[in-house]
């Protein structure tokens, strides 16, 4: 059987007769608290280092670009690739190494795209990548969906 809390006791006139009502804390105590906080801040140091806009994201993207591990899980990517291949050519069979190479290429491509789009966003003094940054990346790399990447 589940335990339940007993209902709260109601205040009666007999219990509250000798007590005075609570009041808000005085404002004189606030400057002391601020002084204590300032003193603690000096003891701790300056706190965490504040990086410039986009520095952390550049570092993360560089880590993903250099790293060997895959960012997209293998099985969901494999399902999508097999589904798209089946739509194009019925009865097609793909080796797992071919799907692995395709996944590696897709991740390298997307990390490169996001790195350059992030650079465009930082240049515009923004922290968030927007659609216009990706459009700018497409224009800079002469990328349209029909030709090979980087070739005019």
Q: Over its length of 152 residues, how does the chain's per-residue pLDDT go in tens digits? A: 567 777 777 766 655 666 666 666 655 556 667 766 666 665 555 567 777 777 787 788 788 777 777 888 999 999 999 999 999 898 999 999 999 999 999 988 888 899 899 899 989 999 899 999 999 988 888 777 665 554 44
CA dihedral sign, ordered 39, 41, 44, 46: negative
pTM of the model: 0.53
From the number of C-beta atoms within 10 Å of its C-beta (0-12, 13-18, 19+), residue 118 rates as buried
CATH of domain 55-140: 1.10.20.10
H/E element holding 36? helix 29-44
Residues 56 and 133: their CA atoms lie apart, in Å, by 18
Rounded CA separation 22/109 (Å): 64
């Amino acid at each position: 059987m589940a335990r339940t809390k007993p209902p709260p006791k109601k205040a009666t006139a007999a219990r509250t007769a000798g007590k005075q009502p609570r009041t808000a804390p005085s404002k004189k105590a606030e400057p002391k608290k601020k002084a204590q906080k300032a003193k603690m801040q000096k003891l701790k140091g300056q706190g965490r280092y504040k990086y410039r806009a986009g520095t952390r994201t550049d570092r993360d993207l560089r880590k993903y670009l250099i790293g060997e591990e895959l960012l997209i899980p293998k099985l969901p990517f494999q399902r999508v690739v097999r589904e798209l291949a089946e739509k194009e050519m019925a009865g097609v069979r793909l080796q797992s190494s071919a799907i692995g190479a395709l996944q590696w290429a897709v991740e390298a491509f997307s990390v490169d795209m996001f790195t350059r789009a992030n650079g465009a966003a930082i240049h515009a003094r923004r922290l968030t990548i927007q659609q216009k940054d990706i459009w700018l990346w497409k224009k800079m790399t002469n990328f349209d969906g029909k030709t090979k990447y980087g070739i005019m």
